[in-house]
Structures are given as C-alpha cells and as structure tokens.
Amino acid sequence: MSKNKVLKIQCQILIENIKLKKFDINTSAANDEVNIEFSHQINDYSIRDLMKILNISTIKEVKYLIKNLELEQSKYRSLNSHKKWVYNNNALNILKLYLKYKAA
C-alpha cells in the first residue's frame, strides 16, 4: 500500500452557523473551553415564540393548549441550553391546525 493516501472527512457542521463568543484570556489552562453558539436555524420554539407565531396574548393560554393537546411528550419538546422547554415544528403545526379547527 502507498503511504501517500489522503483521507478526506467532510465537516458535518456548517461554519457559517457558528458564532464564537469573544472573551479575554489572561492565563492558559489545560482545560480551556470555547463557547459556541449556533444561530437559530434549528426550528425550536419557546413558549413566547409560539405566542407570537400563533397570535395568542398570554403564556397561560399557550400552556393550556400544550397541556390539552398533550404536547408535553419528548417527541414534541426538549430542554434547551437555558433549561427551558422548546417545542419543535410538529408541535407548532398541531397548535396551528387546532386553532384553525376551533376557528372554523
């Protein structure tokens, strides 16, 4: 076998979506960490986002709908890095369809 073979590994993370936080480094350490923050191209919505999208006036109403439509399951929501629940597109679509059904 030839020793001049090159192995290419495709990057799975788009570099355009990464924003590095700026911080001052006074001393170096063996366990230095870098904070990486991804832009919101992932479609996860907080309760406030759902309020704005669905044009609902209070958080209580959104929580009530989430509870009644049983969207508290793991396939519809997850915890974000701030320890708050965020809901995926499926949950948003169910909420939209429910509101259309109720309005009809």
Q: Where are the domains of the chain?
A: 15-103
* pLDDT digit string, tens, across residues 14-69: 666 666 666 565 655 555 555 555 544 568 899 999 999 999 999 999 999 999 99
Question: How is domain 15-103 classified at the CATH fold level?
Answer: Multidrug-efflux Transporter Regulator; Chain: A; Domain 2 (1.10.1660)
User: What distance in Å separates the CA atoms of residue 16 and residue 96, rounded to the nearest whole number?
Assistant: 31
* pLDDT digit string, tens, across residues 66-103: 999 999 999 999 998 889 999 999 999 999 999 998 88
From the list 90, 98, 96, the residue with the least C-alpha distance to 44 is 90
